[in-house]
Amino acid sequence: MASDLSVILPRVLIVSRRSVRKNKFVDFVGEYHLDLIVSYGAVPVIVPRVSGVHTLLSSFEPIHGVLLCEGEDIDPSLYEGEVDQASGLSPQELEEIKRLHASDTAIDREKDSIELSLAKLCLERNIPYLGICRGSQVLNVACGGTLYQDIEKELSKKVKEGEQVMHIDYDNYDGHRHVVKVVENTPLNDWFKDSLEEGKMEILVNSYHHQGVKKLAQRFVPMAYAPDGLIEGFYDPDAYNPDEGKFIMGLQFHPERMRRPDSEEFDYPGCPSAYREFVKAVIAYQKKLNSSTKVAKPLKLDQEMEKKRKVIVRSFSLARNLYTTGHEMDPIKESELEAGAEFLESNTALSLQQENRLKQMGATVRSANSYIKKLKLDEERQRVARNVMGKMSVEQLSDLMSFYHMMGQICSEELERKLNSLVNGFGS
């Protein structure tokens, strides 16, 4: 049973984060992510952050979903041309940012390459994507959006007094919360609606970041704002329908870690909803993918069907012999051609390749003799046509080909119109 599940369950790719332990690199993924993915019915597949993995992503197929989460700052050159000019930060300010957020500001270009490649793959194929924290920023950058290199330096100094927000508190790392305003008629609103006070659209979220969305990519719609105006969640409404395998979303906060002190209980009942709906979309996407690539099983014939098959094969064999030899047919065997003729008349939905093959066998007509005569007539017509065209100039041949091409188009259009008319007639 376990081996069957490993094949059946959909696969969600998650890229690990590199850390240093005892002077050695260690790759890890937060267990809360893994627990939720597994509990809702998918298999997490960890993509290790090691050199060269971005060139091997096809080896992780089939990919039914991608979850990208925490990590270092994204290389600013990926979303800003002239970094210093775009951010407006001085060299001294950039150095101060590196000092204050040393664990995040060490750029990891390999991780950037892996995750941006996966994000773009999801966007190209409509593979479900959930971005948490850095993962939301990767999604925005992949779609042409930009980021604040440092919220405090770039955003906080622009807002009114009393609207400033602390987005990271190293002294109260897991316990720190700040208010966000949830946007109506969004998935986030649906998930947390039972926790929103009447007349207020606010929840408290955790916060572990010093960067965030500056310019939101055009395809996305905000789902939540912090009091300082920072977008804390967004999604693509045209790519959101979990039941149909559609899910493209980014959350700046960590709902999987919004737990009560010294407890595994969530702050709100809606906290795990992003993972539940994401996995629902992953499962639906896998089903859709499997149905489009499913190969028909070989048909098993019972004795009666096998007997009929042999009669038809015999009929085709006789027709082929007549066609290749050109001999007259024994009247006793002529009736054996009937089975092949009847089969063809009752099975007209043939591909062009199948039809041509059956014509070559001489089994597309009831009488093999008349088929041979028709072939000879066609050969004579082709011979006459070749003689006539052989005497024509290049210009005349070009005009003739253009004429028949035009006639073919008209014929095709008229045929399509009449077939549509017939189909619509049946439908009514």
- Of 210, 254, 271, 277, the catalytic one is 254
Mean of all residue pLDDT scores within the chain: 80
pLDDT band at 414 (very low <50, low <70, confident <90, very high): confident
Q: Which residue has the higher pLDDT, 356 or 247?
A: 247
- Of 232, 256, 271, 277, the catalytic one is 256
**Percent over 70 (pLDDT), the chain:** 76
Active site residue 256: yes
CA 343 to CA 299: how far, in whole Å?
Answer: 18
- Of 133, 167, 232, 271, the catalytic one is 133
Does the pTM surpass 0.75? The reply is: no
Cβ atoms < 10 Å from Cβ of 75 = 17
Would you say residue 116 has pLDDT above 90? Answer: yes
Res 364: pLDDT: 45
Burial 342-368 (b: 16+ CB within 10 A, else e): ebbeeeeeeeeeeeeebeebbbbbbbb
Helices and strands (DSSP H and E) totals, the chain: 15, 13
Active site residue 338: no
CATH 3.40.50.880 placement within the chain? 11-292
CA 380 to CA 334: how far, in whole Å?
Answer: 27
SS3 content of the chain, % helix, strand, coil (to 5): 50, 15, 35
Please state which of the ranges 32-46, 134-148, 361-375, 414-428 shows the lowest mean pLDDT. Answer: 361-375
pLDDT digits (tens, 9 = 90+) for 273-302: 999 999 999 999 999 988 876 554 555 656
Would you say residue 173 has pLDDT above 70? Answer: yes
Matching residue, tokens 């290199």 = 149
> How far, in whole angstroms, is CA 104 from its chain's centroid?
31
**Percent over 90 (pLDDT), the chain:** 38
pLDDT band at 369 (very low <50, low <70, confident <90, very high): low
Contacts of 129 (CB under 8 A, 6+ apart): 65, 66, 67, 68, 119, 122, 123, 139, 247, 248, 249
User: Which SS3 state, helix, strand or coil, does residue 177 take?
Assistant: strand
pLDDT digits (tens, 9 = 90+) for 47-97: 988 888 888 888 889 999 999 998 888 999 898 764 444 567 777 777 776
User: Which SS3 state, helix, strand or coil, does residue 385 take?
Assistant: helix
The whole-number average pLDDT for the span 221-236 is 95
Do residues 66 and 13 touch, judged by C-beta distance below 8 A?
yes
The torsion angles phi and psi of 105, rounded to 5 degrees, stand at -85, -5
Would you say residue 135 has pLDDT above 90? Answer: yes
Do residues 111 and 75 touch, judged by C-beta distance below 8 A?
no
Would you say residue 217 has pLDDT above 80? Answer: yes
**Beta-bridge partners for 224:** 182, 233
CATH code given to domain 11-292: 3.40.50.880
CA 313 to CA 334: how far, in whole Å?
Answer: 15
